[in-house]
Amino acid sequence: MTAAPLIEVQSLPLSRGKRTLAKALSFKVAGGSFLELQGPNGSGKTSLLRTLARPTTRLEPQIQRLEGADVFLLGQSSGFRPELEVRAQLALSLTLYGAKADPNRVQSLLEQFGLVRHATYRVRQLSQGQVRRLMLAVMAASGRTVWLIDEPLNALDLNAIALFEETLKGHLSGGGSAIIATHRSIHQAMPALTAYCAGVFALGGPNPHLEPLASLPTPSNHTNPAPARGRAGHPLFWVLRRERLLAMARPQDLAWPSVFHWMVVTLFPFGLGSDPELLARAAGGVFWISALLAVLIGATRFFEADFEHGVLSDCQTAGLSLTWLVTGKIIAASVFIGVPLALSSIPLALLFGVPGHLLLVLGGSLWLGVLSLVAGSCLFSALGLMARQAQVVICLLAIPIFVPLLIFGTAVLEGDMTAPLLTLISLAALFLLTVPAVTARVLDLALE
């Protein structure tokens, strides 16, 4: 009895940038088997895996998946943030894929993949081979049916290679499938897997083709592996939890905007003089310009680390909408950066002679302003990913966009505050409702 293909490719064009790598690729992989992708460097093995993991709308008709066949991409980028603890990162990654991530499950995986002694280490403290072990742990527990694996034996020692062989064999025996890009033949290096190999697909020549091995014995009792599912919850909660862990791991990133704000604001009285009336008139402009500069300083890094470490790609593969990722980042930054900045402004305002009844109004309006500033900066930070050499320039070009925000923010301390406050609330709502979707689209383009 022949198993139905979990993934089938028909006349798929493959390109990288403006270069065409192949005009029409066709193959299929059934449950209980794996396909090897082989070819010289630059032949398109990694590009093909990425295309299969995240097909564009234009290519979706050429890539057919059996209903319920979801994918996991194990690439060269880990998808891990180096500042997080190993245990926390493993739990986050499992939750991202909707897998069970309770403490017992996490502990079991750490023991199985030889990382239990490193559970409290930061990811950056692991060797390259240990990071690959952690990636294998996530893949094994993800519950995904189709594994897309790029050079699985890189950086692995003999014990880890044996562990990979055992893990892959268990996945295939349970009815899963895999497509493996490799320079070293898996079915030859691991004879126990030969019976599961559907063939070798050779890339790089004028006519990419499938070289089948002996026909596979596909037992009729093969079933798709049953994933250990957990409570995935709303994706926004996952993003907020992740941002909280990152904030705890790098508290200096949260303190710096407020410290910078203090430095800038306290310097102005030395330049303006000690005239109380002049200081009171200048207070609104000083505080808002300082807040703008404090937010823009870190704007270039909102997505840079996630982009470089493959987190954005993992989110796409796992099915997490980048819109929710951006929304969560905006909310988290408005809390972790906006609240300290707003609270620190209250005692600073006393230096400028701001009346007592306006202190809380100033703090609240600055928090609303930081929310809008962060949202707008997220968009320009995403644009900066598409022009890697001009990130700072692109973020500086955002300043004119924020001029209306500065005008209404400054007006809060002058005369009737009702209209400026309502305008700030409206602008914050507008930014929060519109910017995430636009920024997510920009991130999609940057990942392509």
- What's the Cα-to-Cα distance from 289 to each of 229, 283, 399, 403, rounded to whole Å? 48, 10, 10, 10
Residue pair 435/375 in contact by the 8 Å Cβ criterion:
yes
Longest dimension (CA), the chain: 91
The predicted model scores a pTM of: 0.87
Type of residue numbered 419? A
Residue pair 281/410 in contact by the 8 Å Cβ criterion:
no
- What's the Cα-to-Cα distance from 348 to each of 259, 275, 333, rounded to whole Å? 12, 16, 22
Give the residue among 111, 78, 8 at the shortest CA–CA distance from 313: 78
**Helix 45-53 / helix 311-318 crossing angle, nearest 10 deg:** 50
SS3 call for 218: coil
What residue ranges in 218-294 does DSSP mark as E strands? none
Structure tokens at 435: 């910017």
Q: Rounded to whole angstroms, how far apart are CA atoms 12 and 14? A: 6
- For residue 67, the model assigns a pLDDT of 67
Domains and CATH numbers, the chain: 5-211 (3.40.50.300), 235-447 (no CATH)
Give the residue among 415, 416, 428 at the shortest CA–CA distance from 365: 428
Residue ranges of the chain with per-residue pLDDT less than 50:
1, 216-228, 231
- What are the strands of the beta sheet with 19-30, ordered from one edge? 19-30, 5-16, 63-65
Q: Rounded to whole angstroms, how far apart are CA atoms 210 and 218? A: 19
- What are the strands of the beta sheet with 197-202, ordered from one edge? 71-74, 146-150, 177-181, 34-38, 197-202, 209-211
Type of residue numbered 355? P
Give the residue among 147, 13, 8, 2 at the shortest CA–CA distance from 65: 8
- For residue 225, the model assigns a pLDDT of 44
Q: Rounded to whole angstroms, how far apart are CA atoms 8 and 63? A: 6
Counts of helices then strands in the chain (DSSP H, E):
17, 9
Give the residue among 257, 262, 278 at the shortest CA–CA distance from 346: 262
Question: Which pLDDT tens digit goes with each residue over 397-414?
Answer: 777 888 888 889 888 888
Give the sign of the dihedral formed by CA 340, CA 428, CA 440, CA 17: negative
Residue pair 7/177 in contact by the 8 Å Cβ criterion:
yes
Question: Which pLDDT tens digit goes with each residue over 194-220?
Answer: 889 888 888 876 667 677 765 544 443
Type of residue numbered 305? A
Residue pair 15/21 in contact by the 8 Å Cβ criterion:
yes
| Side-chain half-sphere CA neighbours of 77 within 13 A | 16
